[in-house]
Chain A
């Protein structure tokens, strides 16, 4: 199915027992790879001498300062803050943004690969251009969503009440768009159509509170999983936190998106 057609006739399958089995085999490997790439990107940014801020659980107070994301995101004991980008030499800035955006895209591709492998329609199978377009749109949406996340958290970081409200509004927005990335991959919708479809489907299915809750809970546990790195503070623990945490929480997040997609799609 292409992005221009309505996918109403697509026969979707629920995540049955064999699907869960395949998911559990595929997802951790994909997210280990994505986590490893994210760690290497972090290492690369450090090699560029670009500051990364300590974002570990116990160093941030109040503890509800955690960014919500639409896509599965890597565990970030250290993070790139926009304030660190001003004044960077152009070559350093380009390389830094390239590494960081690359990690965002790899996370999106890892998720998309799993969704496509389990749920992709037959029209995309074997057609490189169609498949490439779907993964391309997924990457675009992932970068756009993370820009919204960073923009919201950075613009509102100073004011407690607006920050919490902003985070909550963003969680609601991401909750309504929760299955948009999945339908881009599985049904071939474009990003705008995917967001509209997700918004309508989640609303019709009465799943808004569920998806908003998932967005918040996943974000909190991704944030909480930085606690080891905060206590021990070494490269080894940082690598373990990023790779293992990303494998675990990325898998949970991607599975939740696919699970909700199957529930709202059958309705």
Chain B
């Protein structure tokens, strides 16, 4: 191409155009939005490690009162399904499992119900491209010719959405995971740094090249693109990630139940270690995965343990029986599971709930993360299951909500509405403690605050 002062080759023109497009689009100074707030939950990095531990915010410590309450809030009550979120707080809004949106400051219901089925809700994620973030869901209601069906896959949905599944839910869909072609991810969680971990296969309804079963991928929350993916991770049960690793509990035909450690940035496989069949992944922090024993129904083994596994070498650092730690005479020996786990930088907190029909007490225990030794333990009347912790307090909920001093387990306050029990873990949202409860058969969300 002849131009004044010289000539340009076709290749140089094309290269220049490509570079201009790429550089121009990359120079807009994008950052994750909306800005982080102390009210966000799950907390740091959206608690991709399921630590239930938060350093930001000032939830009630000395005393408590109800700030507001909202009725008819569905919640997921299975503690094993840790990738399913009961509540997410982002951009000053509380989102529930069925996408009811509540203003955090005053409990005003912005929108009730809507496009996401109860089991599809994954969480709220910040994004680079959108100012108001995105709601993640593994399904949504779709209306086609006035017939409402459920579309499966991992979707990024507009937070301001229709209030009724009869409305146009498809118009809220910003993306479906996978690029250039859609992927059918059926499980997702561990939202962190603008990505979410997803598990699934390519859409089986269309003709695609064969792939080994089980694909773990990091999906960009901006646009649903796949940042990295790793095939051949079959039969995933659950996963967590901390600031270094992704821990995946799954099973293989040769080894059986295993815990596989991936690099969180690249998805490369670092370690794989066999674990017990009844070990369940509960949390991960600072390169350590925490496993709890999960007695199978009808199993002869009546053992409850919490174990810490190093992600760097696959070695079990410690395994502790919490009932032994507090004395089996005090805690119902028929308890078959650990209620909740919260993992802080220098302590691991767990609850051992009593059996529902037992008169014995529940317990909350603080363990040393280095060796599993008991720092303190506290017996609590009634049943408690769920737990969350901060730098000052430990909050547990069940038939009552209890605040314990984090350093020694002393009870700071107890809040107990009649005929109520918690239907999900407590959520720390800046000054408030959000507690989903069932009260006289009605599911409610309580916001507790320091008077």
Contacts and interface: CB of A to CB of B under 8 A. Distances in A.
A binds B: yes
Interface in B23-72: 24-26, 28-30, 33
A75 B92 CA distance: 42
B22 interface: yes
B342 to A, nearest CB: 33
Interface stretch (B97-105, B115-123, B179-187, B414-422): B179-187
B24 A238 contact: no
Contacts of A46: 179, 223, 225
Contact of B145 (A51, A95, A159): A159
A99 B25 contact: yes
A50 interface: yes
Interface in A147-177: 157-161
B260 interface: no
Contacts of A84: 174-175
A264 B116 CA distance: 54
A44 B24 contact: yes
Contacts of B30: 48-49, 89, 92
Contact of A95 (B28, B128, B130, B178): B28
A120 interface: no
A99 B21 contact: yes
Nearest to A98: B24
Contact of B26 (A36, A47, A59, A232): A47
B315 interface: no
Interface of A is mostly: helix
A158 B149 CA distance: 12
Given A158-B168, A158-B170, A230 B176 contact: no
Q: How large is the interface on B (under 10, 10 to 19, 20 to 34, 35 or more residues)?
A: 35 or more
A41 interface: yes
Interface in B132-187: 132, 143-145, 156, 158, 160, 168, 170-176, 178-182
A261 B224 CA distance: 44
A2 interface: no
B192 interface: no
A212 B284 CA distance: 61
B131 interface: yes
Interface in A205-250: 229-235, 237-238
Contact of B181 (A92, A157, A229): A229
Interface string B202-214: 1100111100000
A59 B180 contact: no
A160 B145 CA distance: 7
B18 interface: yes
A158 B180 CA distance: 23
B130 to A, nearest CB: 5
B238 interface: no
15 contacts: A44-B22, A47-B22, A51-B129, A51-B223, A52-B180, A52-B223, A59-B206, A83-B171, A86-B158, A88-B131, A92-B28, A92-B30, A230-B181, A231-B208, A233-B208
Interface of A: 36-37, 40-41, 43-54, 56, 58-59, 77-78, 83-84, 86-89, 91-92, 95, 99, 157-161, 229-235, 237-238
